[in-house]
């Protein structure tokens, strides 16, 4: 008589029988789940930067986009929605008692899926990065909106639960740890950019409200500070240049090219005049940014002040034009280059000797 053994290295009919029973159990008692399948990252044009996805030989789910921060920011999700059945225990503001105290853990879900049904539907197991949409948590009573939205969660971890093994030591269940998604760059394929009125980003986040608040703050700031904060109106003030320790009126800031003490500017341009000027005359150089006022003294042109009567602009506007600079520069030999250059191209690594 052969020795009894529940373990069998080959999945036989008993495994198929138990697996079918487990699958029917999950289907009958589980809730519907819409799966947004993670595919990888969006391809970029710059193939010389090793941190960009275009330089990867195999841009798949396991590819790491940014090797420095070990993250995938430009995630790509399938346009097809896959439907599964999942099962989890409903929570009622349960507390997670840890060494740091009691914390609410109702934003974290642990959901079980039937492995065979899952692989048959999406082609693989659920992995970190996949987004699950739960219709049974649909909120159709949103204040200020007639729309109804489902609850979205992202898969953070996946493993085989202990209760998913049969007596023959074969697993049938796949448990994933879920956390709510955030309004961030990773989920633009699902939430949208917020530019369209119907984007989910406008419904489940405060993006549009934050944009309106920011625009209102900038508008009020432009009204309160019409010019650069360093601008001061000094053209109507006079001082004696021969007085020792005289106040710096007209020096540093001035109004629209006016010289101190009501003196007229003899001219303006990109070059200093070579004739027709006397000692003490003022000239405005328009090739400086901002324009700069000079005074002739002997053989020298002395800087007097800069034109700070420019319109005030928020720093984020300047940074946006700098970071999102898509302009091209044409060299004298006709070569066209991007004005925005990646730091990895400017600073090349060298081997220590």
- Residue-wise pLDDT for 287-324, tens only, equals 887 788 888 888 899 887 777 666 666 776 667 677 77
pLDDT given at position 80: 93
If asked whether residues 195 and 270 sit together in one domain, one would say no
Query: Could you give the CA distance from residue 258 to residue 284 in angstroms, rounded to a whole number?
Result: 9
Task: Say how many domains are in the chain.
Answer: 2
Predicted confidence band at 164 (pLDDT cuts at 50, 70, 90)? very high
pLDDT given at position 105: 55
pLDDT over threshold 50, residue 177: yes
If asked whether residues 188 and 269 sit together in one domain, one would say no
pLDDT given at position 345: 61
Q: CB neighbours of 285 closer than 8 A, spacing ≥ 6?
A: 268, 269, 270, 272, 291, 292, 293, 294
If asked whether residues 241 and 161 sit together in one domain, one would say no
Query: Could you give the CA distance from residue 227 to residue 308 in angstroms, rounded to a whole number?
Result: 8
Percentage above 90 pLDDT, the chain: 27
Query: Could you give the CA distance from residue 307 to residue 286 in angstroms, rounded to a whole number?
Result: 10
Phi, then psi, of 70 in degrees rounded to 5: 55, 55
pLDDT over threshold 90, residue 155: yes
pLDDT given at position 234: 65
Instruction: Assess if residue 253 is contained within a domain.
Output: yes
Other Cβ atoms within 10 Å of 116 Cβ, number: 15
- Among 147, 172, 205, give the residue marking a domain's end: 205
Look at 32 and 59; give whichever has higher pLDDT.
32
Look at 326 and 278; give whichever has higher pLDDT.
278
pLDDT given at position 73: 84
If asked whether residues 161 and 22 sit together in one domain, one would say yes
Secondary structure of the chain in the HEC alphabet? CCCCCCCCCCCCHHHHHHHHHHHHHHHHHCEEEEEEEEEEECCCCCCCCCCCHHHCCCCCCCCCCECCCCECCCEEEEEEEEEEEEECCCCCCCEEEECCEEEECCCCEEEEEEHHHHHHHHCCCCCCCCEEEEEEEEECCCCCCCCCEEEEEEEEEEECCHHHECCCCCECEEEEEEEECCCCHHHHHHHCCCCCCCCHHHHHCCHHHHHHHHHHHHHHHHHHCCECCCCCCCCCCCCCCCCCCCCCCCCEECCCCCCHHHCCEEEEECCCCCCCCCCCCEEEECCCCCCEEEEEECCEEEEEEECCCCECCCHHHHHHHHHCCCCEEECCCCCEEECCCCHHHHCCCCCCC
**Mean pLDDT computed over every residue of the chain:** 80
Q: CB neighbours of 182 closer than 8 A, spacing ≥ 6?
A: none
If asked whether residues 142 and 243 sit together in one domain, one would say no
Percentage above 70 pLDDT, the chain: 76
Residues 290 and 308 sit within 8 Å (Cβ to Cβ):
yes
Instruction: Assess if residue 39 is contained within a domain.
Output: yes
If asked whether residues 116 and 232 sit together in one domain, one would say no
Instruction: Assess if residue 238 is contained within a domain.
Output: yes
If asked whether residues 50 and 92 sit together in one domain, one would say yes
Instruction: Assess if residue 336 is contained within a domain.
Output: no
- Among 309, 329, 345, give the residue marking a domain's end: 309
pLDDT over threshold 90, residue 131: yes
**Closest to 19 measured CA to CA, from 168, 194, 134:** 168
If asked whether residues 191 and 267 sit together in one domain, one would say no
Instruction: Assess if residue 352 is contained within a domain.
Output: no
If asked whether residues 249 and 146 sit together in one domain, one would say no
Query: Could you give the CA distance from residue 115 to residue 246 in angstroms, rounded to a whole number?
Result: 85
Minimum mean pLDDT among 43-57, 62-76, 87-101: which range? 43-57
If asked whether residues 177 and 250 sit together in one domain, one would say no
Instruction: Assess if residue 338 is contained within a domain.
Output: no
pLDDT given at position 352: 62
Q: What is the mean pLDDT of residues 51-56?
A: 53
pLDDT given at position 266: 84
If asked whether residues 22 and 128 sit together in one domain, one would say yes
pLDDT given at position 218: 83
Instruction: Assess if residue 335 is contained within a domain.
Output: no
Q: CB neighbours of 298 closer than 8 A, spacing ≥ 6?
A: 279
Residues 140 and 39 sit within 8 Å (Cβ to Cβ):
no
pLDDT given at position 102: 52
If asked whether residues 296 and 264 sit together in one domain, one would say yes
**Closest to 189 measured CA to CA, from 81, 82, 75:** 75
Instruction: Assess if residue 342 is contained within a domain.
Output: no
Mind listing the pLDDT tens digit for each residue in 214-271? Answer: 889 888 887 887 776 666 666 667 777 777 776 555 444 444 556 777 777 888 888 8
Q: What is the mean pLDDT of residues 118-129?
A: 94
pLDDT given at position 255: 46
Query: Could you give the CA distance from residue 1 to residue 107 in angstroms, rounded to a whole number?
Result: 55
Q: Which domain holds residue 98?
A: 13-205
């Amino acid at each position: 008589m052969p020795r009894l053994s529940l373990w069998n290295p080959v999945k036989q009919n008993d495994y198929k029988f138990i697996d079918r029973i487990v699958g029917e159990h999950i289907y009958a008692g589980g809730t519907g789940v819409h799966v947004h399948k993670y595919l990888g990252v969006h391809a970029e044009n710059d193939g010389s930067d090793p941190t960009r996805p275009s330089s990867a030989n195999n841009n798949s789910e396991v590819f790491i986009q940014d090797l420095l921060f070990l993250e995938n920011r430009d995630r790509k999700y399938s346009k097809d929605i896959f439907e599964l059945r999942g099962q989890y225990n409903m929570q009622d503001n349960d507390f997670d008692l840890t060494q740091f105290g009691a914390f609410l853990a109702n934003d974290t879900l642990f959901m079980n899926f039937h492995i065979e049904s899952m692989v048959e539907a999406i082609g693989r197991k659920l992995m970190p990065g996949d987004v699950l949409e739960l219709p049974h948590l649909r909120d159709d009573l949103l204040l200020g909106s007639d729309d109804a939205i489902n609850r979205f969660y992202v898969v953070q971890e996946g493993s085989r639960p202990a209760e998913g093994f049969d007596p023959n030591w074969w697993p049938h269940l796949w448990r994933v740890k879920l956390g709510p998604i955030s309004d961030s760059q990773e989920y633009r394929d699902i939430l949208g950019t917020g530019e369209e009125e119907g984007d989910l980003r406008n419904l489940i986040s405060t993006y549009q409200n934050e944009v309106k608040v920011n625009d209102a703050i900038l508008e009020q700031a432009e009204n309160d500070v019409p010019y650069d904060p360093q601008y001061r109106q000094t053209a109507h003030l006079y001082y004696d240049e021969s007085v020792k320790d005289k106040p710096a009126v007209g020096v540093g800031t001035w109004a629209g090219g006016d010289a101190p003490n009501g003196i007229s500017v003899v001219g303006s341009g990109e070059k200093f005049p070579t004739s027709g000027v006397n000692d003490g005359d003022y000239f405005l150089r328009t090739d400086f940014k901002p324009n700069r006022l000079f005074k002739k003294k002997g053989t020298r042109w002395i800087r007097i002040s800069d034109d700070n009567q420019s319109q005030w602009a928020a720093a984020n506007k300047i940074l946006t034009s700098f970071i999102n600079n898509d302009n091209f520069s044409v060299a004298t030999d006709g070569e066209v280059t991007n004005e925005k250059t990646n730091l990895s191209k400017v600073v090349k690594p060298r081997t220590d000797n």
